[in-house]
Structures are given as structure tokens and as C-alpha cells.
Amino acid sequence: MSVEYSGTGDPARSLALLWRTREKASRRGGDLSVDRIVRAAIEVADAEGLGALSMRRVAERLGVGTMSLYTHVPGKGELLDVMLDTAYGETARPDDVPGGWRGRLAQIARENWALHLRHPWLLQIATTRPPLGPNVTARYEYELRAVDGIGLTDLEMDAVVTLVDNYVHGAVRGAVETAQAAQRTGMTDEQWWGAHAPYLEKVLDPRRFPLAARVGAAAGQEYQAAGDPARAFEFGLQRLLDGVQMLIAGRDAGGPPPAVTTG
């Protein structure tokens, strides 16, 4: 799987594009706009994968000449940044989430899980240098509010929301791969398991692999597949939140805040 990188475009042009500071000033390009171009680009990436995305392919989808896109979007690097920022704007951000900070973080994780399932190409863009657009900023603000006032330092607040985001990013990969495998092979996980399980029982010696045989059989019977990404996600999410709860409990008990180090 090829990887693209956000933040590779010209900084001034990317920020102007992300915040639409020049959109009203430009009337060239007919009915085209940044929003139309970005929507078309997202549609291409959703349907065909990020590898198929190019300025030419987006222009074909819009039914215009490739050069007309450059009136609004300088290049693919800047386009990727706006696509990311636009996608992040899809996540719901309700203020009345039950369950305190734990419920709020769980809601954020599930929204981001669903976002990646809708747009699997998000997994193909490295965001160590994130697009600093309005939706990314609003998302960060919302996520920080989930843990504001619960006893964490500012650096710990940032670390916790990053931890949740990184967990979702890793966990959702299995769900995306499961969905893509079904689409590309025409066989569901249940069908795949049904075809392979009888043969596995014949070759898997429980005396040689006692734990693999016992636990694998229990999991296979329960999931009717080699695994269940959604259930694994929920299990891991709760354990992650347990860890955050221990951090907060230690703070409530009067323990000093641990140093948050980088590097």
C-alpha cells in the first residue's frame, strides 16, 4: 500500500486553500470551486482508492479540463490537505454525551472509527504533519474539551487525545482490510472460515499447539471468522480508557503528575 504525506504542499497556498481566504477573490474557472473539486477528489478516492487519485482523474470526474483545476487548487499536495480537513469535518461533535469523560472519549473514538470505514484512503495518508485547517482545528478543540477539567495537565490532555486517535488509526486497519477482502474476493469472512475450518481441524495438532487449538477453536466458533475487528476495537478501547482512569485516579489520590516526555 503506497503512502502519501500531508503537509507536502506550499505552506502559504495550503493554508489559503484550507481556510478559503482567496476563494471569494477568484471568479475564474466557471462553476468550479474548491469545494466541488474536493468533493470529486474524495469520491474518486472512496471509489477507486488513493492510488487512482490525480488531478487528471478529478478533472475527468468533473467533466472539465485538467488545467482548469489549477485555478483553484495548486497541486495534489494541497488537494490532499483539503481532502483530509474536509473528511475530518464529517465527525459528529455532540455536547451532551453521557458517561463523563469516558463516554466522551469513547464517542470520539467511535466517530473516528466510522470515518475511516467510510473513507479507507485516510489510512494511506501519513499525518505527522497534519493539515492545519478549520476542521482539523475544530476536531482537536472538541477532543480536548472531552478531557478538560478532569485533573490532567495540558500536555497530558494532548497526549490522551493523541493516544485515542492513534489507537483508532491502528485498530480500524483490520476492519478496512476485512471489508476490502470481501469486496475483492467475493467471499465473506464467514464463508472463508467455513471453507478453511474443516481442513484446519485436521492438521492442527492440539498436543503440539494446545493453546492455539483451544483458544483458536473458541474464537472461531464465536466469530465464524479468524477474528472480529469491531469486537477487538471495543475491547481495546475499554482497556485504553481503563488506563486513562488509572492516571486520573492516581492524580485524585494526591500523586504528582508524571513528566510527559518526547523523543
- 3-class secondary structure for 125-168? EECCCCCCCHHHHHHHHHHHHHCCCCCCCHHHHHHHHHHHHHHH
pLDDT at residue 231, as a whole number: 96
What whole-number percentage of the chain has pLDDT above 90? Answer: 78
Identify which of 50, 172, 166 has the alpha carbon closest to the alpha carbon of residue 114.
172
Residue 225: how many other CB atoms lie within 10 Å: 18
**Is the model's pTM score more than 0.85?**
yes
More confident residue, 39 or 24: 39
pLDDT at residue 26, as a whole number: 46
113 membership: H or E segment, kind and range: helix 100-118
Q: How do the domains of the chain map onto residue ranges? A: 1-187, 197-239
pLDDT at residue 259, as a whole number: 54
The residue assigned the cell 466458533 is 221
pLDDT at residue 21, as a whole number: 85
pLDDT tens, 31-88?
899 999 999 999 999 999 999 999 999 999 999 999 999 999 999 999 999 999 999 9
Instruction: Examine the pLDDT at 120 and tell me if it is beyond 80.
Output: yes
pLDDT at residue 260, as a whole number: 52
Instruction: Examine the pLDDT at 7 and tell me if it is beyond 80.
Output: yes
pLDDT, averaged across the chain: 91
Please give the sequence-ordered ranges of beta strands (E in DSSP) within the chain, or none if there are none: 4-5, 125-126
Most confident of the following: 8-22, 81-95, 183-197, 198-212: 81-95
CB 19 within 8 A of CB 34: no
pLDDT at residue 2, as a whole number: 79
CATH code of 1-187, in short, is 1.10.357.10
pLDDT at residue 173, as a whole number: 96
pLDDT at residue 25, as a whole number: 41
CB 10 within 8 A of CB 35: no
CB 40 within 8 A of CB 105: no
d(CA 83, CA 45): 10
pLDDT tens, 149-190?
999 999 999 999 999 999 999 999 999 999 999 889 999 988
Identify which of 135, 114, 120, 137 has the alpha carbon closest to the alpha carbon of residue 53.
120
Q: How far apart are the first and last CA of the chain?
A: 27
The bridge status of strand 125-126 relative to strand 4-5 is: parallel
Identify which of 124, 127, 93, 128 has the alpha carbon closest to the alpha carbon of residue 107.
93
